[in-house]
Amino acid sequence: MPNLKLDGLRVRYGAILGTDGVGFELASGETLALIGANGAGKSSTLKAILGMVDYPEGSITLDGRSLKGLRPSEIVRLGIGYSPEGRRVFPQLSVYENLKIGAYSRDRAEAAERVERIYAYFPRLKERARQNAGSLSGGEQQMLAIGRALMSRPSIFLLDEPSLGLAPVIVERIGDILREIQAAEGLSVILAEQNAAWALAIARRAVILELGRVTLTGPASELLENPQVRRAYLGI
């Protein structure tokens, strides 16, 4: 049974369609890559799942329960975490304070345990725990954004463009950490990315979006060999 299911999702920004009938399923423990160019509808899809934008048509269900009309804070409490595009850390707050913000739905003891778990995944964050987040490098801020989202102990993790603006060696390191976290915590992951080669190497399945619509879906390994995907996203 799918953990998360989207069906006929239409997100509108006035007269503009952000998504046009998007539908897919995410199984428990699965990593799904959501691939598309800028403006394809990836961020709109993730924001709709988290309740950050309304959708007049379509449905989103979590274990059979509709998420429509729920506030983002309620959806987070149901087990969905979100790391936004552009990282969006609080630059004047310390690394530690940023992490604690992510644990607002947890009690003090659990939050303290969770901070230590995040430090184990990202030792660099522990070294910089008292530094302002704004003083971190781009890669460190991305680690912090991921760690902050994981503080709520989600079962489903939404990642929006985690490789954006980062050096290839940092991108590969973040990929290794994501695999480690998923193996340790049994996360289901939706990875929204323009970096198709990297995302398809991490994911089990993938959905290709163009102009808000699903154009291809299937096993990531097969899409890596698909001539249409290779021409459009891999430059081959």
Q: 10 Å Cβ neighbour count for 218?
A: 13
CA–CA separation, 54 and 71 (whole Å): 10
- Copy the structure tokens of residue 162: 């985690």
pLDDT at site 1: 44
DSSP reduced 3-state for 151: coil
Q: Which residues contact 57 (CB under 8 A, 6 or more apart)?
A: 8, 9, 10
Number of H helices, E strands in the chain: 10, 10
Q: Which domains does the chain have, with CATH numbers?
A: 2-233 (3.40.50.300)
d(CA 66, CA 88): 28
The pTM for the full model equals 0.89
Digit-coded pLDDT (tens) for 65-102:
999 999 999 999 999 999 988 778 889 999 999 998 88
Which residues in 55-124 belong to E strands, given as ranges?
A: 57-62, 65-66, 80-83
Q: Which residues of the chain have pLDDT under 70?
A: 1-2, 105, 234-236
